[in-house]
Amino acid sequence: MTTTTEQAPDGTFTISKRFTFDAAHQLTSLGPDHMCARLHGHGYRVEAVLSCAEDELVPPGFVVDFKDLEPLARYIKDTLDHRNLNEVLGFEPTSELLARHLAHWFLTHFTPAVADRLIQIRVSETEKTWATYTLNRRTA
Ligand SMILES: Nc1nc2c(c(=O)[nH]1)N=C([C@H](O)[C@H](O)COP(=O)(O)OP(=O)(O)OP(=O)(O)O)CN2
């Protein structure tokens, strides 16, 4: 039987979109004995995660149109892709701090209709690792 809106369980919709870039970095504060203190590169993956309640969906049933996230792709390509992150970011470029940086950029460059739905930015340097920055959203 088809589930109608009235029969649907109470829940929250979440979407995510993945972006990729290649960059070099070194974590100089780790000290010379740590391999990540040496200049090296990663094929980075970034995921933006957005969420809203059912009554906040926009037609035809989107949290946000995936296409509307294109400015984040452009920022990543223009600013981070094929760069040395130590040269373009003003902080030690760990996955965690990069995730927070991208969340801040997202909140300050998207319209509220999109920015208000961001809940997480996730950054991966390798197949096995992810760092997540989760926004502390206050509910009224
Ligand atoms: N919490 C964090 N730990 C580490 C970060 C980070 O951003 N956040 N970054 C690094 C280095 O950049 C390193 O290149 C990646 O670390 P690691 O996963 O240990 O590297 P490997 O792929 O070589 O790991 P193996 O388990 O040996 O395959 C370090 N730590």
pTM surpassing 0.90?
Answer: yes
Q: For residue 114, which of 54, 72, 55 has the smallest C-alpha distance?
A: 72
Tally of structural domains, the chain: 1
pLDDT of residue 8: 80
Residues 30-78: tens digit of each pLDDT: 988 999 999 999 999 999 999 999 999 999 999 999 999 999 999 999 9
- Whether ligand 1 lies within 6 angstroms of the CB of 36 is answered as yes
Query: Do residues 122 and 131 touch, judged by C-beta distance below 8 A?
Result: yes
CA 54 to centroid of ligand 1, rounded, Å: 38
25 is in an annotated binding site: yes
DSSP 35: G
- Whether ligand 1 lies within 6 angstroms of the CB of 52 is answered as no
**Domain for residue 4, yes or no?**
no
Contacts of 82 (CB under 8 A, 6+ apart): 21, 22, 23
**Domain for residue 6, yes or no?**
no
**Domain for residue 139, yes or no?**
no
**Domain for residue 5, yes or no?**
no
Residues 112-128: tens digit of each pLDDT: 999 999 999 999 999 99
**Domain for residue 44, yes or no?**
yes
| 3 has pLDDT over 50 | no
CATH number at residue 40: 3.30.479.10
pLDDT of residue 32: 86
Q: For residue 25, which of 76, 74, 91, 71 has the smallest C-alpha distance?
A: 91
Q: Which of 38, 46, 94 to mutate to test the pocket of ligand 1 (most atoms within 8 A of CB)?
A: 94
**Domain for residue 85, yes or no?**
yes
**Domain for residue 63, yes or no?**
yes
The whole-chain average pLDDT of the chain stands at 94
Q: Which of 129, 130, 132, 133 to mutate to test the pocket of ligand 1 (most atoms within 8 A of CB)?
A: 129
**Domain for residue 100, yes or no?**
yes
- Boundaries of domain holding 82: 12-134
